[in-house]
Amino acid sequence: MNPVQFLGWLQESPPILLLRGANHLVIEVTEVAHVLGLVSFLAALLLVNLRLLGLGLRRQSVPEVAAAAAPLLWTGLGLTLATGTILFLSGPVRYYLNSAFQPKMALLALALVVQVALYRRVVRLQAPSAALGRAVGGASLLLWLGVGLCGRAIGYV
């Protein structure tokens, strides 16, 4: 079974048919929640990355900024991933065949690896080296910007 066949089967499964047959407001509310989660996540991420890049909040240590931003960052990320999954399931074949979707998923996977494996380690350091902070902060911002741009492109390609 190839991916399109599997997604076609998934798309026709009873829970997904129920989702697709729901009132249009269900998807619209999910889209709003997706954007709210994304804004929360990106706002927190931007604060920490600006600190890592040495462009703001210099009076606070990196761990202080990261700790203050962590609830918003992880809640926003969780909400974004949960609602993004629901949105994907509302039309998995359509999304999979969209030329912007697969680059978005690749960037998302890479961004999550950087976020969980590298970013979390660096923000725990009391004084990460400037080069390390700039590298991790820059990579994080670029990856998440790419995820957002590809996600936005899904509606246009």
**Rounded Cα–Cα distance for residues 79 and 61 (Å):** 27
**If you average pLDDT over residues 118-135, what whole number do you get?**
79
Q: Give the per-residue pLDDT at 102.
A: 94
Query: SS3 letters for 74-100?
Result: HHHHHHHHHHHHHHHHCCHHHHHHCCC
Q: Does residue 101 carry a pLDDT above 90?
A: yes
Residues 45-65: what's their mean pLDDT? 88
The residues near 132 (Cβ < 8 Å, ≥ 6 apart) are 122, 125
> pLDDT digit string (tens) for 69-98?
999 999 999 999 999 999 999 889 999 999
Amino acid of residue 156: Y
Note the pLDDT tens digit of each residue in 57-76. Answer: 888 888 899 899 999 999 99
| H or E element at residue 91 | none
